[in-house]
């Protein structure tokens, strides 16, 4: 399924789940079901941000934005991640109020509404998987974060069902707000993960852990005596950029095009879409290393 269409379908399903769980939480006095409904708000934000980011990032480059609007994907994921922290606080506070003022819940109704949410979440996850598959080897950060949200909400809905069954069998009403606390922690975990992913791109962290090792490997290429000023970073989750200086040996000076093509092919094989290579007859002094 085309990514934007898939995201629109997933957004519609998430809004439906929100309505179902809010209704169930109100009718059957379940803090856990209400907390899960608030967790669905994170799904809605994730999918909505993904839809907006995918639409904006598809706009062509301009004279001032030479890479286009791809970085908007990262900004959206950061806003999404930070917004989850506020939602987690709301969930935790609601659970706290229920701990200090216990109340019975309608277990059967809670289970029924949570089960409907599980089914809709599974359907939404399948839709998002089809969107990611249509991108082939690329993994869009916002679609990935939306999938994580939906999968997490399905697990949270299962936890609501388990909690309601526990209350029904044991009569321990605190199990319901306890599940809400677990859902709140799940939201915090999602927030931290998404924020760290987006932050790594904003800080231009290299997607390769051993950049020094890669530099040594490139420096051992035929026709190359030394590689320095190697920088690797991401514009967004699916565009990796690299720049480097390469000093040529006498044989490399005889055929610099072959050297450049070999280095570009190697970096392209490693998944870098934009590569800038400065070939040097004499190594620049000083070298501007940043490793």
Domain residues of the chain, as ranges?
A: 3-202, 211-280
What element of type H or E holds 136?
Answer: none
Give 146 or 91, the one with higher predicted confidence. Answer: 91
Average pLDDT score over residue span 228-239? 86
Mean pLDDT of 120-128: 85
Report the predicted TM-score, pTM, of the whole model to 2 decimal places. 0.67
pLDDT band at 135 (very low <50, low <70, confident <90, very high): low
Under 8 Å between Cβ of 249 and 224: yes
Residues 238-282: tens digit of each pLDDT: 788 999 999 999 898 989 999 999 999 988 888 888 899 999 887
286: pLDDT strictly greater than 70: no
Which of 195, 194, 202, 272 lies closest to 236, judged by CA? 202
Let me know the angle formed at the C-alpha of 161 by 155 and 167, rounded to the nearest 5 degrees. 135
Q: Based on the number of CB atoms within 10 Å of its own CB, is 218 exposed (0-12), middle (13-18) or buried (19 or more)?
A: buried
What's the average model confidence in pLDDT over 204-210? 85
Q: Which residues pair with 280 in a beta bridge?
A: 247
pLDDT tens column, 151-183: 777 888 888 898 889 888 888 888 888 888 888
pLDDT for the residue 231: 92
- DSSP code for 239: E
C-alpha span between 241 and 234 (Å, rounded): 6
Q: What is the CATH number of domain 3-202?
A: 1.20.1510.10
Domain formed by 211-280, architecture:
2-Layer Sandwich (3.30)
Q: What is the pLDDT of residue 252?
A: 87
Listed in sequence order, the DSSP H helices in the chain are: 3-28, 31-57, 72-100, 107-134, 141-170, 175-202, 211-219, 250-254, 256-269
Residue 266: both structure tokens together: 């190697």
pLDDT band per the 50, 70, 90 thresholds, residue 287? low
Q: Are 198 and 226 in contact (CB under 8 A)?
A: no
Express each pLDDT in 51-99 by its tens digit. Answer: 776 777 678 888 888 877 778 778 877 887 787 788 788 888 888 888 8
161-176: b (≥16 Cβ within 10 Å) or e: bbbbebbeeeeebebb
Bridge partners (DSSP) listed for residue 277: 244
Beta carbons of 176 and 98 less than 8 angstroms apart = yes
Q: Measure Cα distances from 74 to 15, 39, 243 in Å.
A: 24, 21, 21
């Amino acid at each position: 399924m085309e990514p934007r269409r898939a995201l629109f379908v997933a957004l519609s399903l998430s809004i439906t789940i929100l309505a179902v769980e809010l209704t169930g939480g109100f009718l059957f006095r379940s803090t856990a079901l209400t907390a899960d409904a608030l967790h669905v708000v994170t799904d809605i934000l994730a999918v909505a941000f993904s839809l907006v980011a995918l639409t904006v990032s598809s706009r062509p480059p301009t004279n001032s934005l030479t890479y286009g609007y791809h970085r908007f994907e990262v900004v959206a994921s950061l806003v999404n991640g930070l917004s989850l922290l506020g939602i987690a606080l709301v969930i935790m506070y609601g659970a706290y109020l229920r701990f200090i003022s216990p109340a019975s819940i309608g277990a059967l109704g809670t289970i029924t509404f949570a089960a409907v949410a599980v089914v809709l979440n599974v359907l939404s996850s399948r839709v998002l998987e089809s969107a990611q598959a249509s991108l082939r080897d690329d993994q869009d950060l916002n679609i990935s974060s939306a999938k994580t949200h939906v999968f997490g909400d399905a697990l949270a809905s299962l936890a609501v069902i388990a909690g309601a069954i526990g209350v029904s069998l044991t009569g321990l009403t605190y199990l319901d707000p306890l599940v809400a606390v677990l859902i709140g922690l799940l939201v915090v975990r999602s927030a931290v993960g998404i924020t760290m992913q987006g932050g790594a791109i904003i800080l231009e962290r290299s997607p390769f852990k051993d950049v020094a090792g890669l530099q040594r490997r490139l420096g051992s290429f035929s026709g190359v005596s030394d590689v320095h000023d190697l920088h690797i970073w991401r514009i967004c989750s699916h565009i990796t950029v690299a720049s480097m200086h390469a000093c040529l040996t006498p044989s490399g000076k005889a055929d610099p095009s072959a050297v450049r093509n070999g280095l570009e092919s190697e970096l392209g094989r490693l998944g870098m879409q934009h590569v800038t290579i400065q070939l040097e007859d004499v190594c620049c002094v000083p070298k501007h290393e940043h490793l």
